[in-house]
DNA sequence: CGCGGCTTTGATGTTCATCAAGTAAAGTGG
DNA sequence: CCACTTTACTTGATGAACATCAAAGCCGCG
């Protein structure tokens, strides 16, 4: 992890509109003065389940995964998040430690604001508080939603759902580089690595996707959607 | 649904300590004046996915299920909640409609506070706001936690996990009446009704539980725990 | 260059869903 | 309150979906 010496201005940050718009100058200074920026490279752990929470984190650029590790040491990915999503969940108000681990799956820039400063501003500015809550609850709701969608499908449908998630919500295009390994896809959709690979290969053989290592192109979008719905 | 004419005092309510303790007299009046009580009998729908949110709900007595219905019409239960848990999720601050359906699975008393009153008090009293958030985020976190636990087990482990949940967290004893049907257990643990029944029967044959209709007694608690862990 | 993690495919067996068919229990209308 | 209808429960048989084990090629990195 690298901490930037020169802090970037928030003027062009997506969070400017999403969040900080409702702050007055003094409040903004309070937040900004306690704000630091950190850059994590692919694979670096940002926070571990059980780490103490003493700051509020949001993702400025890059991509992260939220996951939990079970007693056997197996990871289960809860969600993949992009800029605009919060990293900190609501636990920052209730739990003293992180309930989930967070790892960068691409080079990722994270903004960190000390919890004390955030709380000060939240108490004084209820419009801001509402926005923070709003965003945080979205993260939880999205996790619950996607788990709901995953659990009612079988392998093919799960893979299709995941590929469409990447195409539509993350990369906004039909060709992209898989940000995670095939093992991790398995950890996300609750399947073994082998079956994940087998299903991707089937999609390739059936002409639904083309695949070159991690580069995936969705060739038949309609069929993919149909598999995601029915599978 | 029956609406009580005489509103009960909050003095002996569990939420008194959990929530309303931090309110001053004026704030308490604000909340209490807009508060109504409703009694739902077993099976009655309290809110449906998509219903507009215009109040804040909490469970005073009884038992409810939170669930979502998929496009094929199949229900998936997200959680079972008891008094002390909130019914309203964080969506009350962000979404205008319920994201989950809520149904009483036992005779249930629900307190309802108009959203406007709640928001007024939240803005004026940050200690109260924090407590509300706290409780609400717990509900989301619990859903995510239990889905995480369920998805890494197979049938026997899932059933064992669920029975231990009932014994330890809901009924605080080894003998209890199943609050939901076997089909609903399937909807909760993502299994078919038949396999749910078969597994319960196996547990009975193996002397781990005894079963008389909906009455379950856990005979061998240790073995049940071991199945929940390893299965 | 070699080691470890990732990827791939095949063979095999287990777990689970589906279908079928019947009993029991619970709710409903006359 | 009883006949009727629906829903819940149960068991067995069968096949599909999936995990596991095994073995080998690939790739990146120190």
Assign B40 a pLDDT band (cuts: 50, 70, 90).
Answer: very high
Give the SS3 label for residue B125. Answer: coil
Give the residue-averaged pLDDT of B49-58: 92
- Tens of pLDDT, residue by residue over A115-162, are 999 988 988 888 888 888 888 888 999 999 999 999 999 999 999 999
Assign B195 a pLDDT band (cuts: 50, 70, 90).
Answer: very high
DSSP character at residue B53:
P
What is the rounded distance in angstroms from the CA atom of residue A208 to the CA atom of residue A167? 14
Please choose, from the candidates A78, A82, A54, the residue with its C-alpha nearest in 3D space to the C-alpha of residue A68.
A78
- Domains of chain A, first to last: 2-150 (2.60.120.10), 153-230 (1.10.10.10)
Please choose, from the candidates B17, B114, B231, B152, the residue with its C-alpha nearest in 3D space to the C-alpha of residue A78.
B152
Give the residue-averaged pLDDT of B141-145: 94
- Using CA atoms in the order A130, A131, A133, A135, what is the torsion angle rounded to 10 degrees? 160
**DSSP strands (E only) in A137-204:** 175-177
A13 C-beta neighbours (distance < 10 Å), count: 18
- Tens of pLDDT, residue by residue over B66-88, are 999 999 899 999 999 999 888 87
Q: Provide the total of helices (H) and of strands (E) in chain A, helices listed first.
A: 9, 11
Give the residue-averaged pLDDT of B196-203: 98
Q: Helix axis angle, B182-189 relative to B193-205, nearest 10°? A: 110
On chain A, the residues whose CB falls within 8 A of the CB of B18 are none
Residue of A nearest to B230 (CA): A72
Mean pLDDT taken over chain B: 92
pLDDT (0 to 100) of residue A134:
83
- Tens of pLDDT, residue by residue over A1-35, are 777 766 777 777 888 877 888 899 999 999 999 99
What is the rounded distance in angstroms from the CA atom of residue A209 to the CA atom of residue A218? 4
**What are the residues of chain A with a beta carbon less than 8 Å away from any beta carbon of chain B?**
68, 70-71, 74, 76, 78, 89-91, 93-95, 99, 122-123, 126, 129-130, 133-134, 136-138, 140-141, 143-145, 147-148, 151-152, 190, 229
- Tens of pLDDT, residue by residue over A49-75, are 999 999 999 999 999 999 999 988 899
């Amino acid at each position: 992890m690298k901490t930037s010496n020169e802090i970037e201005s928030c003027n062009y940050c997506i969070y400017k509109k999403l969040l900080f718009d409702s702050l007055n100058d003094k409040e903004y200074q309070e937040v900004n003065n306690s704000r630091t920026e950190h850059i994590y490279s692919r694979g670096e752990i940002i926070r571990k389940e059980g780490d103490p929470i003493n700051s509020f984190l949001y993702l400025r650029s890059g991509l992260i995964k939220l996951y939990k590790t079970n007693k056997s040491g197996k990871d289960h990915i809860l969600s993949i998040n992009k800029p605009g999503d919060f990293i900190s969940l609501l636990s920052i108000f209730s739990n003293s430690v992180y309930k989930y681990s967070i790892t960068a799956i691409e080079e990722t820039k994270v903004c960190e604001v000390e919890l004390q400063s955030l709380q000060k501003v939240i108490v004084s500015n209820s419009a801001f508080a509402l926005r923070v809550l709003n965003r945080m609850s979205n993260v939880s709701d999205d996790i619950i939603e996607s788990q709901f969608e995953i659990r009612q499908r079988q392998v093919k449908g799960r893979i299709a759902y995941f590929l469409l998630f990447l195409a539509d919500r993350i990369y906004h295009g039909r060709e992209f580089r898989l940000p995670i390994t095939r093992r991790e896809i398995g950890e996300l959709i609750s399947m073994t690595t082998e079956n994940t690979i087998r299903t991707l290969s089937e999609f390739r053989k059936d002409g639904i996707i083309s695949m070159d290592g991690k580069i995936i192109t969705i060739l038949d979008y309609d069929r993919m959607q149909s598999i995601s719905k029915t599978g």
